[in-house]
């Protein structure tokens, strides 16, 4: 087997370093545009975008009509933030191959990044003309339409995007944000839940985390809870709680539970009062009931974790704070509390790691007072 075949085989198998080494051998004796493109592809996949650009440039010098080389260099330049040069290369691809299946969509995305929304719409529209089932192009055009103030056009495009590809996570996420703006909170919740499901399948944890936080924000607003005759009673209990009438509030939340035992909010709210009164058994029972009725309710896991911690049930508290983070990865208090539990369990390094995450989140969220307080806790722990 010669070096070229070895390189191709290693590239197919995902052995990028091996593929690059094999293509090095070929280039040393027979430097063709095709081999430079292949090595550029391997470097691109290795995230060596600068090296990839160099290889594609060599390929273009040897074959100025290589659409593969212009395409590869354009996408690598885009990754490097050289957007104008990237657009020039992709435009060259379109000039040489006006039917290129991806070029218009990519150039549309680049134009969007440069805030040239009219051109972005034009490119995505052309991509859709060439392939009416291009879900990505519909999603891209929706973003540009939104920036141009065309909310309904954006919604129509996002609807079409997820209709074509029901696993198009970004389109669900964008549609969820648009639904929120339009006052359709329940529809937004459904879209965010779909986005999380598909991003999780695709291994996009950062996007999952951001969206999970949005979901929990909606839960805290009472979105997603089924309509119930107990809703008005719960609102009455919340009013009493805000006025400091905790005894009345407990009675009202109990009445709500009697009206509809399936509603998680009443258990969650009554449990919070019990927790503040140090009625730990009552609090744990109520939060457990809330979780049984809504297993995705981060606040119920968090509050039950606090109750377990106060009751010195550290292993149970650790599990609940971990569950809280699973459902709302942006809740800084959950990391701080998990760090406290880990410290109580003798895991000092784990405690430090969690406090660092809490500090990072508090800084991002602009909570200066809590940021400074947790920072002092961390410094004391590191010095101790």
CA-closest candidate to residue 129, choices 161, 96, 104: 104
Give per-residue pLDDT as tens, 273-282: 999 999 999 9
Give per-residue pLDDT as tens, 77-108: 999 999 999 999 999 999 999 988 789 999 99
Residue 175: HSE in the Cβ half-sphere, 13 Å Cα cutoff: 27
Q: Any idea which of 53-57, 239-243, 252-256, 350-354 has the lowest mean pLDDT?
A: 239-243
224: left (phi over 0), alpha (psi -120 to 50) or beta: left
pLDDT surpasses 70 at 224: no
pLDDT surpasses 60 at 1: no
Three-state SS for 132? Answer: coil
Distances (CA, A) of 23 to 34, 53, 132, 284: 10, 16, 38, 63
CA-closest candidate to residue 40, choices 70, 1, 5: 70
Q: Any idea which of 101-115, 199-213, 221-235 has the lowest mean pLDDT?
A: 221-235
Distance CA 126, CA 119 (A): 11
Contact 110, 93 (CB under 8 A): no
Domains, in order of start, for the chain: 3-211 (1.25.40.10), 229-311 (1.25.40.10), 329-384 (no CATH)
User: What pTM does this model have?
Assistant: 0.73
């Amino acid at each position: 087997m010669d070096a070229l075949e070895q390189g191709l085989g290693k590239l197919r198998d995902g052995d990028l370093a091996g593929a690059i080494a094999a293509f090095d051998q070929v280039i040393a004796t027979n430097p063709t545009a095709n081999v430079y493109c292949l090595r550029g592809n391997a470097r691109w996949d290795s995230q060596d975008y600068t090296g990839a650009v160099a290889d594609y440039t060599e390929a273009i010098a040897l074959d100025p009509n290589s659409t593969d080389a212009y395409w590869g260099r354009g996408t690598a330049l885009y990754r490097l933030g050289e957007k104008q040069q990237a657009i020039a290369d992709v435009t060259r691809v379109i000039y040489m191959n006006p039917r290129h299946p991806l070029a218009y969509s990519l150039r549309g995305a680049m134009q969007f990044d440069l805030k040239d929304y009219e051109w972005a719409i034009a490119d995505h529209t052309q991509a859709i003309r060439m392939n009416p089932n291009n879900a990505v192009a519909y999603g891209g055009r929706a973003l540009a339409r939104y920036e141009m103030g065309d909310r309904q056009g954006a919604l129509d495009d996002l609807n079409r995007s997820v209709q074509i590809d029901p696993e198009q996570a970004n389109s669900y996420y964008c549609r969820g944000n648009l639904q929120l703006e339009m006052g359709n909170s329940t529809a937004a919740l459904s879209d965010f839940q779909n986005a999380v499901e598909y991003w999780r399948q695709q291994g996009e944890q950062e996007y999952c985390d951001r969206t999970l936080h949005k979901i929990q924000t909606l839960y805290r607003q009472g979105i997603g809870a089924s309509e119930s005759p107990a809703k008005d009673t719960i609102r009455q209990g919340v009013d009493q709680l805000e006025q400091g009438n905790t005894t009345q509030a407990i009675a009202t939340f109990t009445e709500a539970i009697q009206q509809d035992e399936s509603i998680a909010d009443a258990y969650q709210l009554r449990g919070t009062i019990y927790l503040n009164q140090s009625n730990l058994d009552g609090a744990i029972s109520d939060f457990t009931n809330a979780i049984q009725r809504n297993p995705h309710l981060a606040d119920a896991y968090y509050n039950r974790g606090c109750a377990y911690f106060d009751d010195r049930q550290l292993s149970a508290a650790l599990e609940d704070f971990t569950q809280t983070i699973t459902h709302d990865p942006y809740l800084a208090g959950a990391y701080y509390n998990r760090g406290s539990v880990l410290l109580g369990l003798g895991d000092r390094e784990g405690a430090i790691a969690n406090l660092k995450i809490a500090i990072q989140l508090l800084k991002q969220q602009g909570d200066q007072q809590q940021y400074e307080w947790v920072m002092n806790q961390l410094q004391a722990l590191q010095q101790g």
